[in-house]
A = this chain, B = another copy of it.
Amino acid sequence: MALIVVEVMLKPEILDPQGQAVASALPRLGFNFAKSVRQGKRFEIEVEGTPTAEQLAQVEDAAHKLLSNPVIETYVVKVEG
């Protein structure tokens, strides 16, 4: 069994109110490390056995069609463990 991960983030030019909320909360709690924060989504997809090339292509397709909104978001597909 393997884990395919799809990470979806807003495109850099798109306003990210969620990330902004975190970025402005951090210093109030005394954390000053962040220059900027962006918040996105992480999908963990469990598949049987080791993912095949065909499966990965399918995941790409699903990431494009369902998991992300290409108008405002970008995605990355990764295989983890």
Binding site for B on A (CB under 8 A): 1, 4, 7-9, 19, 22, 25-26, 29, 31, 33-48, 51, 55, 58-59, 61-62, 65-67
Contact = CB atoms under 8 A, between A and B. Distances in A.
A36 B29 contact: no
Given A33-B45, A33-B59, A36-B45, 11 more contacts: A9-B42, A19-B43, A29-B62, A33-B58, A34-B46, A35-B47, A35-B48, A37-B45, A38-B43, A39-B42, A42-B42
A35 B66 contact: no
19 contacts: A1-B35, A8-B42, A9-B42, A22-B43, A22-B66, A29-B62, A31-B58, A33-B58, A33-B59, A34-B46, A34-B47, A35-B47, A37-B45, A39-B41, A39-B42, A40-B43, A41-B41, A41-B42, A42-B42
